[in-house]
């Protein structure tokens, strides 16, 4: 068993300090419960807004590029989009109202397209002035950043973190990857398949709409599926 660290003093705890699911620090005497996972996810808050992708009508959500979308009962019930080559992102679904602090998650599955170019994800707190975005690729990489106007007034995506591979993501088509973002004030946490990938702080955008998005690039068409979309209260 790998050693843990005391949450009080930070000292390393050897295996002999662990008894069942309780650990006791030999240095400061603190006892605490051991998490079942070394990368535990926070609890889920109350469901605010969900989507049933076995049907076209979902209260609280609006379809975008509807002619490119199809609905499949599954399992899992899935919203699928087929998109032609394009430099900018395609939106598939957006929230009817503005959201500020929330915990959003959805499962993404790439079905077709050039693995070198296709990606999909979320835009959130998004308005006509910009917002935040996170994308995952079929190659098991991800990036996040923000959208803002340039000197000409055009919206551009600026990376806070460049594309990076992550071991929690599954590569290839027909693989399910769960993306979760927790927004709480200026604090953000990103989870990939239940593993905390990144946390960061930024104060550019306070509220806006949420979008499911796909980005085939100008070099490839793509097909992607979204399932089990949930917007929840921020966990306490």
- Residue-by-residue pLDDT tens, the chain, 236 positions: 444 565 555 566 666 655 556 666 666 566 656 655 656 677 788 999 999 899 999 999 999 999 999 999 988 899 999 999 998 899 999 999 999 999 999 999 999 999 889 999 999 999 999 999 999 999 999 999 999 999 888 899 999 999 999 999 999 999 999 999 999 999 999 999 988 999 999 999 999 999 999 999 888 999 999 999 999 999 87
Domain ranges of the chain: 4-33, 47-232
**CB of 142 closer than 8 Å to CB of 136:** yes
Question: What pLDDT digit, counting tens, does each position of 150-191 carry?
Answer: 988 889 999 999 999 999 999 999 999 999 999 999 999 999
pTM more than 0.85: no
Q: How far is CA 90 from CA 56, 74, 99, 120, 224, in A?
A: 18, 23, 20, 9, 11
Handedness of CA 94, 45, 51, 222 (dihedral sign): positive
Asked if the 47-232 domain carries CATH number 3.90.870.10, the reply is no
């Amino acid at each position: 068993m790998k050693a843990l660290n005391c949450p009080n003093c930070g000292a390393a705890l050897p295996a002999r300090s662990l008894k069942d699911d309780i650990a006791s620090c030999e240095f400061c005497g603190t006892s605490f419960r051991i998490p079942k996972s070394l990368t535990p996810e926070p609890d889920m808050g109350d469901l605010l807004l969900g989507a049933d992708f076995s049907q076209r009508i979902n209260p609280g959500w609006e379809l975008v590029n509807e002619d490119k979308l199809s609905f499949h009962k599954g399992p899992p019930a899935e919203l699928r989009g087929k998109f032609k080559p394009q430099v900018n992102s395609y939106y598939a679904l957006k929230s009817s109202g503005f959201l500020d602090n929330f915990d959003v998650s959805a499962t993404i599955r790439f079905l077709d397209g050039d693995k070198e170019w296709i990606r999909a994800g979320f835009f959130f707190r998004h308005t006509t002035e910009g917002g935040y975005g996170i994308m995952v690729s079929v190659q098991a990489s991800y990036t996040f950043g923000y959208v803002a106007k340039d000197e000409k007034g055009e919206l551009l995506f600026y990376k806070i973190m460049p594309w990076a591979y992550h071991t929690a993501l599954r590569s290839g088509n027909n693989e399910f990857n769960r993306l979760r973002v927790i927004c709480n004030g200026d604090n953000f946490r990103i989870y990939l398949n239940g593993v905390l990938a990144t946390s960061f702080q930024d104060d550019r955008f306070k509220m806006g709409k949420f979008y499911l998005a796909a980005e085939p690039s100008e070099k490839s068409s793509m097909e992607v599926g979204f399932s089990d979309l949930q917007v929840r209260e921020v966990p306490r």
